Amino acid sequence: MTKYNVHNQKEFESLNLKLSKNILISFFVKLTGLFLILLSQIYFARVMSIESFGMYSLSLSYFFIFLLFSHMSVDTLSLKNISIFKSQSKLSQIKGFYFSSINAMLILSTIVFFCVICYLFLINNNLDSDLKKTVLLFLFSTPFAANVLLISSFLRSYNYIFYSQFTDSILKPLFLICMIYIVILLNGSLESHMAGMIYLISSVMSFLIINYIFFKKIYSKLRNYEPKPFNRIVKKSFPIFLGVFFYLLISQADILMIGYFLGPSEVGLYAPASRLSSLIFFLSSIFSIVIASEIAIAYENNNFLRLSKITIFSTRFLTFFSLIYVLIIFFIGNEILNLYGNKFVISHTPLIILSLGYFTKSLSISELFMIMTKFQIQSSIILLVTLILNITLNYFLITPLGIIGASIATACSLIFLNISMPLYIFYKTKINTSIFQLRAYSE
């Protein structure tokens, strides 16, 4: 074996060891968080009426949209740029990016706040009062949640994988569970606006804790550097925002359109299937937490062989674990749904259909690759086409087929998305980001 090949072999062994260690940490933190999040959602479903749980789930979907507009994917841009700045030891740029990000998100959160307030109290006066209170409380949560996402990206860039997830994945659901228990003890019941208040308090607590970690672990090292401002941060994050926004709408369109056509009660019945199936996205997030910065650095350095190794490592594990999850859903999905209450078992078929759609996401790292490289605009276009397909299918399928129609629409859209992205990347760059034909850039 040549000296060059020995060097490469050692480099990739080091890469695999680094990725394996970080993924193991991420996996256990996320797995614990997953258990706690499911527990909190099950707790909500069991102590609330179906209509109140439906209002809570609908408000949560609105919250995800408010949240995205409150940070405009500045957190994702920070993960990409801070990883590159750190590899180049540009600490002044890191500090400047932090202050520019905070300022941008404060402005965005303020704009979102006033737009939603105007809609709730000046434009649409027909909303149910309890739903309006719940949406308002989730609105107050958005600036805190946006800041948590930003700080988490900084921690990930610095390879503090555990700290980047611990607050949001473990502490926040623990706060939720404890406060639900206290409210039930004091009040005897839980309305949707009370659940919104619980979520707000949990968001504030998460914000305080992760910022304390950030100042101890990262900002203390930047304190003596003069910040170099990062100009037009929102303009540079906007292409990423479009892609994330379209994907969010794809994942939430079924719930929003069920709410419009069928009402909150049907949303309540469908919500557990939607949340459980999207946990395959949770599996992908374990890997994206670890490999996102690696992709950005490798592409910046034109290291396509390293990109190929990252793809091979990630997709094999992702597909394996996602397949196990789909089999669990297929065979014991009824029992899992029964934990929410026996009335939710009706959504087992939508759960299977949605899970199959989300499974296709595990077959490639294409979406993450496009976000962390120069293909954000192309990614947004593919996602926009998928969103149009999703809305169209939901429009025609929900009325005749109910929640099963919604699940078919979303699954078909996800399959289209997760086939078209890797094909486009391979066509344009010959870089293979899927589990298939993995030797495209082999030695």
Distance CA 41, CA 36 (A): 9
Tell me the domain boundaries of the chain. Answer: 33-231, 235-443
Q: Sign (positive/negative) of CA torsion 84, 87, 92, 97?
A: positive
233: closest CA among 46, 371, 72, 379? 72
Which tokens sit at 10?
A: 């050692």
Encoded amino acid at 133, one letter: K
Cα separation, 109 vs 306, in Å, equals: 38
Look at residue 434 and give its three-state secondary structure.
strand
CB 421 within 8 A of CB 243: no
Q: What is the pTM of this model?
A: 0.74
Q: Say if residues 391 and 333 touch (Cβ distance below 8 Å).
A: no
Q: How high is the pLDDT of residue 125? A: 67
Could you tell me the CA-to-CA distances from 297 to 105, 157, 275, 372 in Å, in that order? 26, 11, 33, 9
What share of residues in the chain are helix, strand, coil (percent, to 5)?
85, 0, 15
In this structure, are residues 290 and 20 in contact, taking their beta carbons and an 8 Å threshold?
no
What's the distance, CA 362 to chain centroid?
A: 14
Q: What is the pLDDT along the chain (443 residues), one digit of tens a residue?
A: 444 444 444 554 455 555 566 667 777 777 787 788 788 888 788 888 888 888 888 888 889 889 989 988 898 888 888 888 888 888 999 999 999 999 999 999 999 999 999 888 776 667 677 888 888 999 999 999 999 999 998 998 888 878 888 888 888 888 888 888 888 888 777 788 888 898 999 999 999 999 999 999 999 989 888 998 888 888 888 888 888 889 888 988 999 899 889 988 899 899 899 988 887 776 676 667 667 777 888 887 888 888 888 888 788 888 888 899 899 999 999 998 998 888 889 999 999 999 999 999 888 889 889 988 888 889 999 999 999 999 999 999 999 999 999 999 999 999 999 999 999 998 888 888 888 754 444 43
Task: Report residue 254 CA to chain centroid gap.
Answer: 17
SS3 of 83-133:
HHHHHCCCHHHHHHHHHHHHHHHHHHHHHHHHHHHHHHHHHCCCCCHHHHH
Compute how many other C-beta atoms are within 10 angstroms of the C-beta atom of residue 105: 23
- Give the three-class secondary structure for 267: helix
Asked whether the beta carbons of 58 and 264 are under 8 A apart, the reply is yes
d(CA 38, CA 40): 5
